[in-house]
Chains A and B, each alone.
Chain A
Amino acid sequence: MRFGVVRFPGSCDEVDALMACRRFADAEILWHGDRDLGGVDAVVIPGGFSYGDYLRVGAIARFSPVMDAVSEHALAGGPVLGICNGFQVLCEAGLLPGALLPNAGLRFLCRQVDVEVVNSGTPFTRACATGDTLSIPVKHTTGRYYAPEEALREMEAHGQIILRYAEGRNPNGSVADIAGVANRSKNVMGLMPHPEHAVDSLTGSEDGGCLFRSLIDHVEEKNIERGHHPPSQPDDIKGGHRPPLQPPAARPAEARA
């Protein structure tokens, strides 16, 4: 199981995302100019300020060469997780419904929030239970999720609302307390909270790990269905990343790629 974490000019959470993925599986950085995904099983679009947030958040990043490959991967059913700016990019790219607007309070928010798992029947949440509360930080200025009423009803009907801020704790004015949504086929998910910052008790919570573990379970199950076995042997031979706790600094060549 290998994650690919996209790095755009202006991304800033790609190293944390890479480290979070490597706690659980193999992972590499994908450059925004890449036209293919190098065979990764799942794509993570990390947080940050891709292309300086020019015009609108996420508006320019979606024209990156790598986004064509990400769209193809998504249309073929491959999992794509967008975190914060990644969520904004996926909405602008039309891979997720809705849009993100400036926080209702206009302030930059940086705090730990409780989010409720609304649907645990997705590749991103299957290691959690519906109703679980996850403690994950948010840090954003443009995190107010919006979708028109009719779209919201449809999303609700199809179980596309995956995470909500705990009751009375909506930090940014998101419609219906929405913190994370998926596309209709549930292989593309975006969320404003940062699960990659919540994988180690040292930083206050390990609850974000549930999303990465879910994805790994999903991919490995799919691989077995297709008759591909998890590449545990090759991983061991080349040094292995399971369980990986090395900081990416130990792999500078790849991190710079």
Chain B
Amino acid sequence: MKARVLIHPKEGILDPQGQAVERALPALGFEGVENVRIGRLVELDVPDTSRLHEMCERLLANPLIEDYEVQVIEQ
């Protein structure tokens, strides 16, 4: 099974990368873009999806500073 984990900084945590990109966009004429947050995408093939959350909690994300979202792409 193919899964995707999206990891991004927790709300309220300063994301200077997101801010830098947000400041760069108007320079190319993309006005009005707000709340740019930059995270990571982890793609993985797993034998079953039951332990994905545990993987996220213990390694793929640091729950203190990051939120994550698990997407199962192919069953």
Contacts and interface: CB of A to CB of B under 8 A. Distances in A.
Contact of A173 (B14, B40, B62, B64): B14
B28 interface: no
Interface string A146-173: 1110000000000000000000000001
B17 interface: yes
Contact of B65 (A103, A104, A146, A173): A146
B20 interface: yes
A245 to B, nearest CB: 41
Contact of A98 (B20, B40, B60, B64): B64
B64 A148 contact: yes
B33 interface: no
Nearest to B60: A55
Contacts of B17: 102, 106
A56 B9 CA distance: 12
B7 to A, nearest CB: 9
A140 to B, nearest CB: 14
B64 A106 contact: no
A101 interface: yes
B16 interface: yes
Contact of A104 (B9, B16, B62): B16
Nearest to B40: A55
Given A101-B13, A173-B14, A106 B62 contact: no
Interface string A166-183: 000000010000000000
A99 interface: yes
A16 interface: no
Chain B interface bracket (under 10, 10 to 19, 20 to 34, 35 or more): 10 to 19
B71 to A, nearest CB: 19
B16 A99 contact: no
B27 interface: no
B58 to A, nearest CB: 10
Interface in B1-29: 9, 13-14, 16-17, 20
Contacts of A102: 16-17
A99 B65 CA distance: 7
Contacts of A148: 64
A169 B65 CA distance: 24
B3 to A, nearest CB: 16
Given A98-B64, A99-B65, A148-B64, A55 B59 contact: yes
Given A98-B64, A148-B64, A59 B13 contact: no
Please name the 10 residue pairs, one residue from A and one from B, whose CB atoms are nearest each other, closest first: A106-B16, A99-B65, A99-B64, A104-B16, A99-B62, A56-B62, A102-B16, A146-B65, A104-B14, A106-B20
